[in-house]
Amino acid sequence: MLDQSIRTAILALHEQKHGVRTIARMLGVSRGAVRDVLRAQSAEVPRLARTEIASEHEATIRELYLASKGNLVRVHEQLVAQGVVLSYQGLTAFCRRHQIGSEPPKPSGRYHFAPGQEMQHDTSGHRTIIGGAEWLVQTASLVLCYSRNIYFQAYPRFTRFACKVFLTDAVKYFHGSARRCMIDNTHVVVLRGTGKLMVPVPEMVAFGERFGFTFVAHEKGDANRSARVERPFDFIENNFFANRKFDDFDHLNREAVIWCDKVNAAYMKHLRATRRELFVTEAPLLHPLPAYVPPVYLLHQRIVDLEGYIHVEGHIYSVPYQLIGRRVEVREEKDQVVIYEGPRQVAVHRRRWGPGKLRITEPAHRPLRGSGGGAAALTPPPDERELQAAEPEVAAYAATLKTRSTTRWPVALRRLAQMRRDYPRKPFLAAVVEAAHFGLYDLERLDRMVLRHIAHDYFVVPDTRRDE
C-alpha cells in the first residue's frame, strides 16, 4: 500500500501534466497504483475495511469480562465452550481496540525541579553476602532532585528509628536538605492517608522541622512521581551489590559512601555534567544544617541482671557489676549502646548487628579475681537491705523468697518491699507469718492474703440489728 507522501507526489505530478506511465516510472510504482490514486483524487491512505470475527460477540465478551473479573484467559475458555471460533490473540487484540479492560496509554510527563526544591526518599530490598551469609537488606536512598546527587545505606530492617538515622546521615552528607522530602507512603512516616491527604507521624514532623523540610507523599500508584529515587535502585542492585561481599553492616555502609562519591563525580551524558557540578548550583539553596545535630537514639529501661548484663535487640551487653539489680537507662544509637544510671554515663558498647545472641563483655565491668569483689561480697540492692532490716519474720520470708525466685529475685524483693511500704504493718505482718507457715511464696497470693486481713480488721460492718 502506498504511503501518504507517494500519493501526494502522484497528485502533484499529475497536475504538472505528466502521464500515468511517466509518473509510475519516476516514482517506481505500478501504473495500476497510479490510476487508483488518480481515481480517488486524495492523498489520504484508505483504511482497510475488515470484518472482525468477535464484533458480533462484543456484548457477550463484555459480560464475561466482568463476570471473570478481568481474566481474559477465562473469557476465552467460556467463548470456546459456547462454540465461538476465536483465538486468544484475536480476543486480546479485540479487547485492546475496543478498550475492554484497558485504556490507551497516556503520554508520560517530565518533572522539573528548581535547586533545593525537593529531595526524594525510598527503600528497596536487596540480597547480598554479609559475614559469609546471605542477607536480605533494606536499602534506603535519598536523591536531590535537581543535581541527582545520591546517598544510600543498608539496614537489616527499616524501622522509624532507622529512618531517622538514615535521613540524619543523608543531610549531613549533603550538608543541608531540600525544602520538601517526597516519600512513597511508607508506614514509618505516614500516620494516615495517602498522597495529598497523607498525615505524617508527629514524631517525624518534629524530626523534619529540625532540618527544615516537610514530608509529602505521591499519589498511590503514581511511582513516576518519585522516579528520581526509584530509577537508581536498579543501578545499585546491578553495580554496587554485584559480586561484592562484606564483613558486616559497617563495612557495607562505608563502601556505600565510597560508591556514592564515585557515582556523584561521574559524567552523565543526559545531564551533560556530573552530579557534583550541578550540586555546586544547588548547595547554596539547601536549608543549612542546625548548629548542633543531636544523636538519634532509642530509649530503653532495663534492670541489670544477676550476671551484670542487660539485653538490647537480642544482644547482651555488660555493665559495672556494682549496678546488679539497679534500673538503668539504655540509649540505642546508630553505632553504639550507651548506658546511664540517672544522669551519669556508666558504660558504652559498640552496637552489634546480626542474628543470634552475642554477649559483649567489657573487662573493666567485672570484679578482679581474688579482690574480694565476687558475688558474695557485693553490696545488696536497696530493696534487699530494707527487707533485711525489717521485722525478723519479714527478713526470713525475704531470704527464702530470694532463694526460690532464682534469677528473678531482684524483681520479687522489690515487689515485697513495695507491699511492706504500701500496706498497714499489722495485716501485712500477719499475712507474711501465715504465708511462711504454709510455705506460700507466690506474691500474688500473698497480696490477696494481706487484703483479706485488711478487710477483716479495718472494714468491719457494725451490727445495726435491734435487740428483740
Q: State residue 220's pLDDT score.
A: 85
CB 168 within 8 A of CB 286: no
Averaged pLDDT for residues 67-87: 90
Pairwise CA distance, residues 66 & 70, whole Å: 6
d(CA 367, CA 386): 25
Is 295:269 a contact under the CB 8 Å cutoff?
no
Q: How much is the pTM?
A: 0.65
State how far the Cα of 235 lies from the Cα of 227, in Å rounded to an integer.
13
pLDDT tens digit string along 100-119?
A: 887 777 766 678 899 999 99
**Is residue 256 over pLDDT 50?**
yes
Instruction: Using alpha carbons, list the distances in angstroms from residue 384 to 202, 325, 381, 432, 444.
Output: 43, 10, 5, 16, 19
- The residue behind cell 516510472 is 25
**Residue 235, burial from CB neighbour count under 10 angstroms (0-12, 13-18, 19+):** exposed
Q: For 283-300, what is the mean pLDDT?
A: 93
Please report the pLDDT score of residue 463 as a whole number: 59
Query: Which pLDDT score, from 0 to 100, does residue 376 have?
Result: 43
pLDDT tens string 433-444: 999 999 999 999
For residue 256, which of 273, 232, 281, 276 has the smallest C-alpha distance?
232
> What is the rounded average pLDDT of the residues 384-413?
88
Q: Are 177 and 166 in contact (CB under 8 A)?
A: no
Contacts within 8 Å (CB) and 24+ apart, 195-199: 195/219, 195/220, 195/222
Q: CA-CA distances (angstroms) from residue 145 to 28, 181, 282, 339?
A: 54, 10, 10, 40
The Cα 397–Cα 440 span in angstroms is 10
Read off the C-alpha cell for 92: 486480546
Domain ranges of the chain: 4-40, 53-97, 119-285, 297-366, 379-458
How far is 429 from 425, CA to CA, in rounded Å?
6
Is residue 269 pLDDT above 50, yes or no?
yes
Half-sphere exposure of 137 (CA within 13 A, CB side): 27
- Separation CA 35–CA 7 (nearest Å): 11
Distance CA 21, CA 38 (A): 13
Report CA-CA distances (Å) from 336 to 9, 154, 350, 359, 425: 79, 17, 4, 15, 47
- The two beta strands, 180-183 and 119-130, are parallel
Specify the 3-state DSSP secondary structure of 215: strand
Name the class of domain 119-285. alpha beta
pLDDT tens-digit map of 377-397: 456 777 888 898 999 999 999
Q: What local confidence, expressed as pLDDT, does residue 370 receive?
A: 57
List pLDDT tens digits, range 213-254: 999 999 888 878 888 999 999 999 999 999 899 998 999 999
Query: b/e map of 97-131 (b: 16 or more CB within 10 Å)?
Result: eeebbeeeeeeeeeeebebbebbbbbbbeeebebe
Angle among Cα 170, 172, 176 to the nearest 5 degrees reads 95
Find the range with the poorest average confidence among 18-22, 259-263, 282-286, 453-457: 453-457
**CA-CA distance, 363 to 319, in Å (whole number)?**
10
- Cell numbers for 23, please give them: 509518473
- The amino acid at residue 279 is F
pLDDT of 121 higher than 90: yes
